[in-house]
Amino acid sequence: MKYLLAFLLLTGCSEKKPDTAAQDKQKNESTISAPAEMSYKDAKEKSKRLLIRFKQLPTLQTETNLYSFIADTLIPFWYGTKWNFYGTTEMPGQGTIACGYFVTTVLRDAGMEINRSKLAQCASETMIQQLAIKQSIQRFSNVPLLSFIEKILQEDPGLYIVGLDCHTGFLYNNGQEVYFIHASYATPKMVIREKAKESAILATSKYRVTGKLTFLSGNLRNQRVENL
């Protein structure tokens, strides 16, 4: 069973189709666009500065600033980038991107020191175990979508990685709404941001594993707790 789950959670993005009726109702919420006055290079540099600041002063506010910038400024550069099972582009809007590569490229560009290709090609549960706060990792099997989203909303706001039967992406919990941000293999077959409760892909996945991203080592994480 363990090996079967690992196989199902490969992050290469299967072309498995969600329920047609649910897919027809899927609504793209990618309305946040990248700032016209900022280039992607500038956004990457600012994200890295926010990450350094967070490591120097690991408080709730510096963490929120980092998560918000990644979700609302850095990632929007990727909206509309075409999905492909073998996509590995490193530049938003150019070429194609697979779901696992989308996650690891964003995190690398945000300032995390990771092996983009190695993590993109492994099972998404393995990716989550390496990049998420251990205590935040949760596994859901055959849980209704709305119950799943309600559980995420009960957790701390922030940016999460989610692994599905055959897909991966980000969950962004801003404290009021949960968004699913991913390189979608279903229509419109591109990087999108949608309300999680309206995602056909999330709805049809039988297995979901989530973990909140960590940008800190264990010692720094303990310091953050003390500073809250």
The predicted model scores a pTM of: 0.85
Q: Which residue type is seen at 225?
A: V
Rounded Cα distance, 156 and 153, in Å: 7
pLDDT tens for each residue of the chain, 228 residues long: 444 444 444 445 655 555 444 444 444 555 567 777 899 999 999 999 999 999 999 999 999 999 999 999 999 999 999 999 999 999 999 999 999 999 999 999 999 999 999 999 999 999 999 999 999 999 999 999 999 999 999 999 999 999 999 999 999 999 999 999 999 999 999 999 999 999 999 999 999 999 999 987 543 444 444 443
For tokens 């897919």, name the residue.
23
Q: What angle do CA 81, 26, 94 make, to 5 degrees?
A: 5
Cα separation values, 40 from 11, 44, 69, 151, Å:
25, 6, 13, 33
Annotated domain spans of the chain: 19-227
Q: pLDDT at position 30, please?
A: 55
What lies within 8 Å, CB to CB, of 219 at 6+ separation is none
Q: pLDDT at position 37, please?
A: 81
Catalogue the long-range contacts made by 217-220 (C-beta closer than 8 Å, 24 or more residues apart). Answer: 220/55, 220/58
What lies within 8 Å, CB to CB, of 24 at 6+ separation is none
Q: pLDDT at position 12, please?
A: 52
